[in-house]
Amino acid sequence: MKFMFRVATFLAVTALINAYHECSAASKEPNTLVTAQSSAAPDTPLPADNPFAAPSPLTFHTPAFDKIRLEHYQPAFMAGMQQQLAEMDAIAGQSDTPTFDNTIVELEKSGGILTRVRNVFSNMTSAEKTKDLQNIETELAPLQAAHSDNILLNRKLFARVEKLYETRESLVLNQEQREVLKQHYESFVRAGAKLDEAQQARIRSLNEQLSKLETKFEENLLALSEERSVFIEQVSELDGMSEADIAAAAEGAKARGKDGQYLLEITNTTRVPILSSLNNRETRRRIWEASANRGLGRESGIDNRPLILEIAQLRAERSKLLGFASHAAFKLQNQMAEEPAAARKMLADLIPGVLEKVQKEALDLKAMITETGGTHELEPWDWEYYTEKVRKARFEVDEAAVKPYFELDNVLKNGVFFTMNKLYGIEFRERTDLPIYHPDVRVFDVFDKDGTHFAIYYVDFFKRDTKRGGAWMSSFVDQSHLLHEKPVIVNVLNIPKPAAGEPALISFDNVTTMFHEMGHALHGMFSDVTYPSVSGTATPRDFVEFPSTFEEDWAIQPAVLSNYAKHYKTGEPIPKELLHKVILATKFNQGFDTLEYLAAALLDLEWHTLTSEDIPADAEKFESAALQKYGIDFAPVPPRYRTAYFAHIWSGGYSSSYYAYLWSEVLAADAFAYLQEHGGLTRKNGQRFRDTILSVGGSREPMEAYKEFRGSAPTVEALLKRRGLK
């Protein structure tokens, strides 16, 4: 999962109900002015020796990880919630007529302690989640939900915001201020500020229950990723894997107390990349089934289906209380798509062309099975394996032959950083004096084209048991002129860690993921706004993946590829013929890639357009029926995420919004094609993209920003070409 979205200070708290730390979107609720006893501990000041009591003394208030200990989190959260509620009471209790400064600006400035601890804790519970951290998260989840309710259902506070919104035309506000006021008002209304007291009480209860269930779902997935890992006893069963990968598998098993065996871990998606190289079909089947049957209670006591049904039920009920036909209707109201029908149509319109391409791909794979002496049917665990054979035959591209040209550090410095310098003029300089939260983490100062030090960038590349699946961007500090804050950003990935002493040779998919996550990081680092609630990636969900997907395509531009695709031993550039084939191969298997995505995105919308009366009794049957409804129940190509482990939509903030990746890709492909028509990799193009898209955050309507950049609305033509569908 490639993700990053987070909102600062006050509006960030609203995200705690429906969204996950990394990519959050808001929802909240309840009663009249509620004071601190509802959600926070007794009014005790946070001790000065707690690292969250004051801004960090380190550069740009970078977290003092060397001083942060487990026992600091909970007191900081409790004191932070207490502090912010006191600030809310002070704003609400003013006798002065509401003004933008005495109401909205004060909301934006509130919650200093809570923001500091939340920004660190949210990344830690994804990147380095110990059992102790998990326990704290479980305990805090309902308290944070209640805290958000205490703010957004404060009638006196809402009355001030509503007064400003109703008189907004008479106020002298700039564009950013108008947008900030609008977003604050909508946050209150969407939380239930206009409901009666009985309805608000029910909303509170629903939010508390959902926070617990969503946290439990996340905890289950972390446990499942370890439980469902496959241990191999005989090295012969790993035929096809490289010596380095086998050594890493041996080390992984040893670390789990199974010396002499080999650990093959599943990924967050249904597909598992290692399947492309394993010659043993039975081993492939074991790994695929371990992935695809997660959360169903098979061979394990962890069954996510009851959780899912309850989450869907409660979300549907809450949406109805708020006046929406479904959870999807509620979530998409303030997105670019605006309504579920628009998102569904975009996805469904692609199905005929995608199915046609998938069927052709399947025929190629079946032919390869026959050609290599096989007599079996094409199964899901065969797809990647035979795809790699077809890819190699058609393009003569062997993943094992390509990886030596993609050594991680070289990709980072001479690929990602090189491109960012060419486009934006920025430079990255590694530093080792700042404390880090894990030995694998690296830190870089980021300097602007005029030499100004304007951001700090953390990277955490390697997979480990305490890290959840996927890839994401988070911020430890959000940019804000109001708060005089400069951005401190982290990218987290799950690249397999090499055996000790071995180079990190990575797949081309991981290469593009590095470029993608850098796009999210730039969105945070280039933010140039006054108010923290619209900083960086605080944009609609179906816009936020646009800047990151846009950066992906630079990875395959010859001028960029030739700069970093060099053999890790000899330094020789990747042969031109192989380079050309690598680029061509990126368009290969796009029917599969697109269909598995469409299946997951449509499955998400099907779950979240249900009313509370329509929640099914059997999650697996519902999933099957949903795929049949759209004619995409093609067994060899299952959804990218099946319902029982679909973290994006049950605990990750993308409920009703998984379509957003493709929606954003339309923008990204169109924007990239536009720049190729106007010079490609130039500082002028980079500056235009930075000024109109990356720097404005959520301070203006997304389509307005896009049209200023592009001069017109996007079309789907570039997307179809990008995915090899045209």
Which residues belong to the active site?
A: 517
Closest-CA residue to 605 (of 550, 665, 555, 654): 654
Instruction: Please list, in sequence order, all residues whose beta carbon lies within 8 angstroms of the beta carbon of residue 656, skipping any fewer than 6 positions away.
Output: 327, 328, 330, 331, 332, 340, 604, 605, 608, 649
| C-alpha to C-alpha distance for 390 and 41, rounded to whole angstroms | 61
The single-letter DSSP state of residue 413 is I
Residue for token digits 């002499």?
A: 260
Question: Strand 442-447 vs strand 427-431: parallel, antiparallel, or unpaired?
Answer: antiparallel
Other beta carbons within 10 angstroms of residue 227's beta carbon come to 15
- Are 254 and 332 spatial neighbours (Cβ–Cβ below 8 Å)? no
Tokens linked to 148: 């958000």
Question: Strand 262-264 vs strand 230-232: parallel, antiparallel, or unpaired?
Answer: antiparallel
Would you report the helix, strand and coil content of the chain in percent, each value rounded to 5? Answer: 55, 5, 35
Instruction: Please list, in sequence order, all residues whose beta carbon lies within 8 angstroms of the beta carbon of residue 447, skipping any fewer than 6 positions away.
Output: 426, 427, 428, 429, 453, 454
- Are 239 and 279 spatial neighbours (Cβ–Cβ below 8 Å)? yes
- Are 15 and 533 spatial neighbours (Cβ–Cβ below 8 Å)? no
Strand, helix or coil at 634? coil
As to burial, measured by CB atoms within 10 angstroms (0-12 exposed, 13-18 middle, 19+ buried), residue 157 is: buried
Dihedral in degrees, nearest 10, Cα atoms 657, 658, 663, 665 = 140
Residue for token digits 């079309």?
A: 715
Helix then strand count (H, E) for the chain reads: 29, 8
Closest-CA residue to 553 (of 350, 684, 719): 719
| C-alpha to C-alpha distance for 594 and 613, rounded to whole angstroms | 32
Please report how many Cα atoms fall inside a 13 Å half-sphere around the Cα of residue 672, on the Cβ side. Answer: 25
396 Rama sector, left if φ>0, alpha if ψ -120 to 50, beta otherwise? left
- Are 584 and 629 spatial neighbours (Cβ–Cβ below 8 Å)? no
Closest-CA residue to 530 (of 13, 88, 179): 179
As to burial, measured by CB atoms within 10 angstroms (0-12 exposed, 13-18 middle, 19+ buried), residue 196 is: exposed
Cα-to-chain-centroid distance, residue 5: 7
Please report how many Cα atoms fall inside a 13 Å half-sphere around the Cα of residue 639, on the Cβ side. Answer: 24
| C-alpha to C-alpha distance for 412 and 521, rounded to whole angstroms | 14
Residue for token digits 């996340």?
A: 218
- Are 625 and 648 spatial neighbours (Cβ–Cβ below 8 Å)? no
| C-alpha to C-alpha distance for 177 and 109, rounded to whole angstroms | 14
Strand, helix or coil at 296? strand
Radius of gyration (C-alpha) of the chain in whole angstroms:
25
DSSP string, 49-106: TSTTSS--SSGGG---TTT--HHHHHHHHHHHHHHHHHHHHHHHT--SPP-IIIIIIH
| C-alpha to C-alpha distance for 132 and 69, rounded to whole angstroms | 11
Tokens linked to 182: 């609008």
